[in-house]
Amino acid sequence: MQFVELKQTLKKQIDNVYLISGEDRFLQDKSIELIKNFAVDNFVDMNESIYNDENLNVQQMIEEAQTLPFMSKYRFILMRDCFSKIVDKDKKMIIDYLKSPVKTTVFVMCVDEKNDFINKVESKATKIDCKFLDEKTLNVIVPSMIKQEGKQITTNALSKLIEYCAYDLGRIQNEIQKLSSYCTDDIIKPEDVENNVAKTIDYETYLLANAICEKDTSKALKLYKQIMQQKGSTQYVLGILGNFMRRYFYLHATKDNKELCLTNFKIPDYTYRMLYNKSSSLKKAELMNSIDKILEADYEIKAGRQTDENALYNLIIYLTTKL
């Protein structure tokens, strides 16, 4: 199920095993909070156990999951940030428990990325998808969050806020708190977002990819300077830029076929929404050439032939003037 369906579902029933996945950490946190609040109605400290990479003890965790709750409907067990460290013996213990979970325990597994082990156990769990929300949903949720801070926001400012934060609700919440402090007016306007909201390096790189596709050298160099001021890793930026150009190529090749892009080429849904309908003057062959040039720039840096900043600068000049 999607995150937005979770609350209503919990009002009807609560399941014994949940698997929470998706890139939005904020939605993961909210899902965990909702499930715990519905599960544990008394003595939270005595009925809650949280396991991560620092304290994971699978045998102890399973024993706790098999223990009756203390004056509460359910016992709540959470596994998070520890799945890469689970050994085969522990995996077997977890799988055996999930085959017949205790009816008075709610067992929650929260993962950022799926692996072979998660693929094996997901059929035994109720799945909650915490991918970044689409713009339509955010257009409803974000104004409500802003209203709680005693503010309103214009439509254009809302679009900028969502894009600058790359659809990440956790970042959006942090930026709302900042805007509420800095904006003296009751209504948040586009210039307030432009002046106060920090764009992610990923988003700046997305704008850079757009400028390259539009062959706008001046705009691309301005973005290059902004990215350098953020002191991000140049090789990280090259990697992100290469991903965007590759995904632009996939959109061209599939004629914007969303299903093919999401399933065959594994483009995240929120990235597809960012790229879809963006104008591009580059042809498929030019996009492939740009990807090759990005790889060459990365090699030049690693080989010590160019400094990080010069390699990115020269790449931008080439891509916007000579492709």
- Nearest CA to 193 out of 208, 178, 211, 209 is that of 178
- Nearest CA to 316 out of 199, 208, 202 is that of 208
Neighbours of 50 (CB within 10 A): 14
Residue 186 and residue 270 in one domain: no
Residue 187 and residue 69 in one domain: no
CA distances from 309 to 200, 202, 229, 238 (A): 19, 17, 11, 11
Exposed e or buried b per residue across 167-181, where buried means at least 16 C-beta atoms within 10 angstroms of its C-beta: bbbebbeebbeebee
CATH number of 289's domain: 1.20.272.10
- Nearest CA to 129 out of 275, 263, 1 is that of 1
- What's the mean pLDDT in 16-44? 94
Per-residue confidence band for 231, with pLDDT thresholds at 50, 70 and 90: low
Residue 219 and residue 304 in one domain: yes
CATH number of 147's domain: 1.10.8.60
Residue 68 DSSP symbol? P
- What's the mean pLDDT in 224-238? 79
Domain, as residue range, for 33: 3-129
Signed CA dihedral, 70, 73, 77, 80: sign only: negative
Residue 169 and residue 252 in one domain: no
Residue 118 and residue 140 in one domain: no
CATH number of 32's domain: 3.40.50.300
Residue 116 in 3-state DSSP?
Answer: helix
Residue 105 and residue 80 in one domain: yes
The whole-number pLDDT of residue 279 equals 44
Q: Which residues contact 303 (CB under 8 A, 6 or more apart)?
A: none
The whole-number pLDDT of residue 154 equals 96
Residue 266 and residue 286 in one domain: yes
The whole-number pLDDT of residue 236 equals 80
The whole-number pLDDT of residue 281 equals 59
| Alpha-carbon span 229 to 315, nearest angstrom | 18
| 285, pLDDT greater than 90 | no
φ, ψ of residue 21 to 5 degrees: the values are -140, 165
Residue 107 and residue 23 in one domain: yes
Q: What is the mean pLDDT of the chain?
A: 89
Per-residue confidence band for 193, with pLDDT thresholds at 50, 70 and 90: very high
The whole-number pLDDT of residue 31 equals 96
Residue 21 and residue 36 in one domain: yes
| 309, pLDDT greater than 60 | yes
Share of the chain above pLDDT 90, in %: 52
Split into its structural domains, the chain has a count of: 3
| Alpha-carbon span 287 to 303, nearest angstrom | 24
Residue 8 and residue 120 in one domain: yes
Residue 119 and residue 21 in one domain: yes
Alpha helices per DSSP H over the chain: 3-12, 25-39, 44-47, 58-65, 88-99, 116-121, 135-148, 155-164, 169-182, 190-196, 201-213, 217-229, 234-253, 258-263, 269-275, 284-302, 308-321
Q: Kindly report, residue by residue over 139-162, the tens digit of the pLDDT.
A: 999 999 999 999 999 999 999 999
Lowest mean pLDDT among 181-195, 258-272, 292-306: 258-272
- What's the mean pLDDT in 282-299? 87
- What's the mean pLDDT in 175-183? 91
Q: Which of 50-64, 255-269, 278-292 has the highest mean pLDDT?
A: 50-64
Residue 192 and residue 206 in one domain: no
Lowest mean pLDDT among 11-25, 32-46, 70-84, 221-235: 221-235
The whole-number pLDDT of residue 37 equals 95
Residue 15 in 3-state DSSP?
Answer: coil
Per-residue confidence band for 255, with pLDDT thresholds at 50, 70 and 90: confident
